[in-house]
């Protein structure tokens, strides 16, 4: 189910995926109180009708599409789902077929036990999240909005349970992203006269564009640590650090400049403290002895930085056009009155009792959840999977994998979550370490 570009999808695989889930989850597709619909040709929307219409519904969101992968660099072919030493290798095992299949499997298990939820909920499985979600996730959101649906909360992919990922924290901690960064995709183009490479001009279009790219990479955007939920995250996790870091984290009003310099040393941390720049697609040249008349590249940065990009490049020969743009998502509630937060806390502590703290965070990537802001102000991004330091680079990288044990835990989490949502009032909140 590879998504290359928008409108360039492996539609055959998407159709086969639809047939597969109908085959392996028969109860989900045949139960009377569950309605399933195909949206945007390949995406799925499930409406699970609860027994108590007074309870406000919620939504579980995932996607079936994956980014491309070549066999080079992989221990096993990336689409073989090879199992080795307790791990399943394959593109999508962490992003995000584990969630798509896990949600349906948890529901299937409940249905086979003759369980009917009290609280209604929706399941959305998009088919093009990796290439914008405009034809899948967004269409699901628009359909629900047209029906007047309002959600108590929405849970999508995003953060996870980090074990040894945050430097200085030894115990596993659960991060639930309460927002995600915005995005700005720019097309940089340089045009010049064509000719023969034996008589080149002083500067070619490729050289001009390469110089612009170099300036962008050598001049990162300003630090913005402390202007988003990352400050709240470290305050929640302060007690997880050993001395003297715990003192520093508890006094970020004083030490935030120092902390931001430490965090930015790693790519994931750098994405939390500033708008980042990623040079993604470069296109130039057609023949070894020919000078091309133009060169272009795609640049992905966060929004509200167009002027900074122009000032950094400082070359009028580089044309800059916007191809995609959207703002950061609103920050979702994080308090004892937020139903989703309390449900997540309770379920995490039930299924992952070794987790020492649960904290809000920021999703540095973009998800389909951004299309659902008209349905709820409580959008959370959390993948109930334990991620170790080397797992992070596997997402969209080589040797993506999930352990069988971790996948079983994910299904257990979703199995418990659905049941925990069948309450009239908020559960008594669990105290995380920083609150003791």
With H, G, I as helix, E, B as strand and everything else as coil, classify residue 173. strand
> Who contacts 386 (Cβ-Cβ below 8 Å, separation ≥6)?
160, 161, 163, 172, 352, 406, 409
Q: Structural domains in the chain?
A: 3-161+336-435 (3.40.630.10), 183-326 (3.30.70.360)
State how far the Cα of 46 lies from the Cα of 59, in Å rounded to an integer. 10
Residue of 95, 108, 128, 129 marked active site: 129
What kind and span of H or E run contains 294?
strand 294-301
Q: Kindly report the number of other CB atoms within 10 A of residue 75's CB atom.
A: 12
Residue of 65, 180, 230, 368 marked active site: 65
Q: Are 346 and 430 in contact (CB under 8 A)?
A: yes
pLDDT score at 291: 45
pLDDT in tens, 247-276: 999 999 899 888 898 888 888 788 888 888
Show the low-confidence residues of the chain (pLDDT under 70).
Answer: 193-200, 284-297, 301-304, 426-436
* 129 part of the active site: yes
* 65 part of the active site: yes
> Who contacts 94 (Cβ-Cβ below 8 Å, separation ≥6)?
383, 385, 387, 391, 394, 395, 400, 401, 402
Smallest Cα–Cα separation from 244: which of 228, 255, 229? 255
Question: Which residue has 């499997």 as its token pair?
Answer: 105
With H, G, I as helix, E, B as strand and everything else as coil, classify residue 78. coil
């Amino acid at each position: 189910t590879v998504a290359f570009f928008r409108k360039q999808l492996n539609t055959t695989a998407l159709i086969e995926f639809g047939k597969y889930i109908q085959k392996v989850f028969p109860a989900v597709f045949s139960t009377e109180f569950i309605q399933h619909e195909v949206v945007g040709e390949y995406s799925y929307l499930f409406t699970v009708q609860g027994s108590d219409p007074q309870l406000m519904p919620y939504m579980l969101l995932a996607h079936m599409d994956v980014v491309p992968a070549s066999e080079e660099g992989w221990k096993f072919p990336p689409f073989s789902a090879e199992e080795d030493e307790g791990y399943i290798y394959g593109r999508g095992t962490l992003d995000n077929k584990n969630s798509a299949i896990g949600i349906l499997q948890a529901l299937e298990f409940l249905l086979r036990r003759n369980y009917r939820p009290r609280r209604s909920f929706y399941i959305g499985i998009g088919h093009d999240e990796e290439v914008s979600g405009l034809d899948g996730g967004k269409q699901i959101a628009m359909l629900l909005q047209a029906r007047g649906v309002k959600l108590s909360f929405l849970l999508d992919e995003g953060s996870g349970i980090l074990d040894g990922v945050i430097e200085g924290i030894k115990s596993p901690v659960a991060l639930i992203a309460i927002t995600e960064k915005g995005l700005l995709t720019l097309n940089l183009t340089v045009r010049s006269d064509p000719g023969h490479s034996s008589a080149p001009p002083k500067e070619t279009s490729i050289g001009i564009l390469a110089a612009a790219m170099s300036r962008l990479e050598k001049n990162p955007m300003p630090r913005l640590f402390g202007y988003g939920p990352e400050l709240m995250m470290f305050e929640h996790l302060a007690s997880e650090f050993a001395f003297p870091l715990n003192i520093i984290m508890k006094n970020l009003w004083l030490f935030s400049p120092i902390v931001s310099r430490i965090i930015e040393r790693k790519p994931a941390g750098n994405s939390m403290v500033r708008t980042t720049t990623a040079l993604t697609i470069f296109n130039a040249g057609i023949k070894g002895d020919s000078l091309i008349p133009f060169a272009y590249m795609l640049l992905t940065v966060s929004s509200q930085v167009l002027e900074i990009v122009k000032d950094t490049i400082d070359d009028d020969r580089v044309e800059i056009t916007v191809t995609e743009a959207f703002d950061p998502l609103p920050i979702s509630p994080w308090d004892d009155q937020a139903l989703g937060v309390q449900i997540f806390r309770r379920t995490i502590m039930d299924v992952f009792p070794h987790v020492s703290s649960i904290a809000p965070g920021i999703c540095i990537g973009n998800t389909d959840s951004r299309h659902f802001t008209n349905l709820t102000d409580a959008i959370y991004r959390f993948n109930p999977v334990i991620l170790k330091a080397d797992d992070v680079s596997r997402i969209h990288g080589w040797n993506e994998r999930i352990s069988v044990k971790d996948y079983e835990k994910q299904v257990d989490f979703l199995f418990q979550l659905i049941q925990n949502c069948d309450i009239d009032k908020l559960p008594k909140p669990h105290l995380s370490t920083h609150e003791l």
